[in-house]
Structure 1
Amino acid sequence: MKPKKIPNISVDCVVFGFDTTTKSLNVLLINRYLESKDSNDILVDDYVLTGYHVYEDETLDESASRVLKEFTGLTNQYKKQFKAFGNPDRLTNPKDLVWIKSEAFNSRTITIAYYFLINTEDIDLENNTHYAKWFPLKQLPEIGFDHKEIIKEAHEDLKVKCLSEPIVFELLPDKFTINDVQDLYESILEIKIDNRNFRRKLINKKYIVPLNEKQVGVSKKPAQLYMFSKDVYEKIYQKNYLISI
């Protein structure tokens, strides 16, 4: 039996990824395209977040995870619900109204927004049926609905969250350099960080584990590789929490 959707409640997913080559925080968007049936004129051609209606028999978290899996094929990724968007005018742009009519959507839809942190290497865009594409956060294309506002709010929440929890490592490969971590923090926080102080502080973290490996395939001197130990971090966090009591 086909799941029954709630017509005016949806989830929208901001999927963040980090490009270690361009050193940019990126967001994954899908092409929203619609032609007129009568004249083949292009009515809508822009980009939006991935999202869909919530089904009656699932939680909001389950709905967001389902949407991400359908979009990327990935499961068990870091996700955070950060805000609901319910402005009565959020879907009243002329292009949005055309799209809503073609898809028989409810124009008064409230959406629950999530963001996901993804290692870009885990996504195969070549075979993605949604015409998905990574865009640098500072170079976004024309975006439909109120999704530009949703992306902005997600980024602001990520800025705060990354300073209290080591979630940035969700955006990096399993093996990374100290420069990769610094570049990522600078990209998220939109600031410049003192290289020497940052390196010293990070290397002294017990959950940043040095590997007996260096970069390969680079033109410059290969850098030391490290990994993040979630187990060590959780033990330290638990210990510090007990001490603080």
Structure 2
Amino acid sequence: MESKKIKNISVDCVVFGYNTTEKTLNVLLIKRYLESPAHSEILVNDYVLTGYHVNEDETLDETATRALKELTGLSSLYKKQFKAFGDPDRLLNEKDQLWIKNEGFNSRTITVAYYFLIKTEAINLNQNKYHAKWFPVNALPELGFDHESIILEAYEDLKIKCLSEPIIFELLPNKFTINDVQDLYESILGIEIDNRNFRRKLINKKYIIPLDEKQVGVSKKPAQLYMFSKDVYEKMFKKNYLISI
């Protein structure tokens, strides 16, 4: 028997990924497209976050995990529930109303928002049925609903969280250079960091493990590779900043 949806409660998922080549923090969006019944007019053509209405027999976390797996094929990722959005006017834009009418949604829907951190190389979007695409968080396309506000709130939360927990390593490859870590912090926080000071502090962290490996396939002198040890971090965890910058 198919689970019954709760018509006015949904979950929206902000999926963050880091482009190590472009050095940009990106968000994964899906295409929202609607034509008139006669296919003579495009009514809606923009992007939105992935999300679902909550089923009566599942928790909010389970809905978020279901939405992510449907979009990316992955389920075991860092996720954080960060805010509920329930403004009575959040879905009253003309295009949103057209979409809601076509899909049979409730115009007065409260959504609980999560964000996920993902290694971009872990998913292949070439044949994604939702036409999912990465966009830099600072260069978003036209968005439906109130999803721009949701993304920006998730981004602000991520900025705070990345200074107190080692969550940025969820965005990096398993093996990385010190410069990779610095570039990611700079991309998230929108600041420049003193290279020598940052390097000294990072390599002194016991949970940053130097490897007997260096970069390959680079034109310049290959840099030392490191890995993050979650086990070591959890053993020595204290409620202080991961890195003081």
Q: Which residue of 2 aligns with 1:243?
A: none
Task: Report the counterpart of residue 126 of structure 1 in structure 2.
Answer: 126
Paired with 1:170 and 1:39, the residues of 2 have a C-alpha distance of 43
State the TM-score, normalized to the length of structure 2. Answer: 0.96
Q: What does the per-residue CA deviation read over 1:186-223, in whole Å, with 9 as the maximum and x for residues that have no partner?
A: 11111111111101000000000011111111111111
SS in 2 for 1:92: coil
**1:5-16 mapped onto 2 (5 Å cutoff):** 5-16=5-16
2:220 partner amino acid: K
Query: Aligned-pair distance for 1:55?
Result: 0.5
- Report the alpha carbon displacement of residue 17 of structure 1 after superposing the two structures with TM: 0.2
Task: String of CA shifts for 1:14-49, please: whole Å, max 9, x gaps.
Answer: 000000100000000001011111243111100000
8 Å contact kept, 2:28–2:135: yes
Q: Which residue of 2 aligns with 1:111?
A: 111
- Give the aligned partner of residue 213 of structure 1: 213
Distance in 2 separating the partners of 1:16 and 1:215: 25
Amino acid at match of 2:24: S
* Structure 2 Cα separation of the partners of residues 239 and 18 of structure 1: 26
Letter in 2 for 1:200: R
Confirm or deny that 1:186 pairs with 2:190. no
State the match for 2:195 in structure 1. Answer: 195
**One-letter amino acid matched to 1:134:** W
Separation of aligned partners in 2, 1:239 and 1:109? 37
Q: Which amino acid aligns with 2:121?
A: E
Q: What residue identity is the alignment partner of 1:56?
A: E
Superposition deviation, residue 3 in structure 1: 1.0
Runs of 4+ residues deviating >4 angstroms: none
Distance 2:226 2:127 in 1: 31
Alpha-carbon distance between aligned partners in 2 of 1:207 and 1:103, rounded to the nearest angstrom: 48
- Matched ranges for 1:1-245 at <5 A: 1-237=1-237
Inter-partner Cα distance in structure 1 for 2:151 and 2:165: 20
How far 1:75 moved relative to its partner?
Answer: 1.0
Q: Structure 2 counterpart of 1:71, which letter?
A: L
Task: String of CA shifts for 1:119-161, please: whole Å, max 9, x gaps.
Answer: 0000110121110000001111001000000000000000111
Distance 2:221 2:132 in 1: 35
CA RMSD of aligned residues (A): 1.2
Q: Distance in 1 between matches of 2:178 and 2:60?
A: 36
* Count of residues paired in the alignment: 240
> Would you say the 8 A contact 2:46–2:144 is kept in 1?
yes
Aligned to 2:243: none
Q: Report the 3-state secondary structure (helix = DSSP H, G, I; strand = E; otherwise coil) of the residue aligned with 1:18.
A: strand
Q: Answer 1 or 2: which has greater helix percent.
A: 1
Aligned partners of 1:238 and 1:135: how far apart in 2?
A: 35
TM-score (norm 1): 0.96
Identity rate, percent:
77
Give the counterpart letter for 2:160 in structure 1.
V
